Amino acid sequence: MDTVFFYSSIYLSIIMAISLYRAVFGPTILDRLIGVNAIGSKTTALLVLIGLIYHRVDLFIDIALAYAMLNFIAVLAASRYFQKRKGLYDETPRD
């Protein structure tokens, strides 16, 4: 069972590299944001899987939970920028 978890975590990290493409090369910033959000949700799963590999999953759940909570804040903050500054490419002058 350990090997299953191990290979699935490796697989997950490779998938993460695919989402990374969007994060690094995304044409607009919102695309990057999608990529980062996707990476975040995969990270949550990966953290729990690492916990299983260490046989100490109860310790890693806390991190994953904190992670799920705080990733949300980061995404909200970044999207809040666009809600307030209504320009994707060039910005409106400051008040």
Partner 1 sequence: MKIAGLIVVLLCGCLLIYGTVDFPEWGDPASPASTHVSPYYIETTMEDTSVPNIVTAVLADYRGYDTMFETIVIFCAGIACIFLLRTYTHQAPETRLYRHIPTGIILRIKKGGKLPEDSTDFERVDLQWVPYDLIIKTACRVVVPFVQLFALYVIAHGHHSPGGGFQGGVILGATLILYAISHDLRTTIKRMSEKAVILLSAAGVFIYASTGALCLLFGVNYLDYSGLAAILGVDPVSARSHGILIVEIGVGVAVMAVMVSLYYNLSSVGKQDEGL
Partner 2 sequence: MNDLVAVLISKYNYWVYIILMMIGFYAIITKKNLVKKIIGMNIVQTAIILFYISIGAKKGATLPIISHGHDAVGHAVHASDYINPLPHVLMLTAIVVAVATLGVALALAIKIYRQYNTLEEDEIHTRIREQ
Partner 3 sequence: MNIVSTILLICGLLFFTGGAVGIIRMPDFYSRLHPAGKLDTMGILMTMTAVALYNLHDFSIGTVLSSLKIILIVAFLFITSPTATHAIVDAGVRAGLGPWTKEETKEENDLAT
28 binds, among partner 3, partner 1, partner 2, none (CB under 5 to 8 A by kind): partner 3
Give dist(CA 52, CA 18) in Å, integer: 24
Report the helix count and the strand count for the chain, using DSSP H and E. 3, 0
**Footprint of partner 2 on 22-81 (CB under 8 A):** 54-56, 59
Upper half-sphere CA count for residue 45 (Cβ side, 13 Å): 14
63 binds, among partner 3, partner 1, partner 2, none (CB under 5 to 8 A by kind): partner 1
- Site membership for partner 3, residue 44 (CB under 8 A): yes
- Site membership for partner 3, residue 82 (CB under 8 A): yes
Closest listed residue to residue 43, CA positions, set 74, 9, 5, 3: 9
- Site membership for partner 1, residue 90 (CB under 8 A): no
Residue numbers at the binding site for partner 2 (CB under 8 A): 54-56, 59
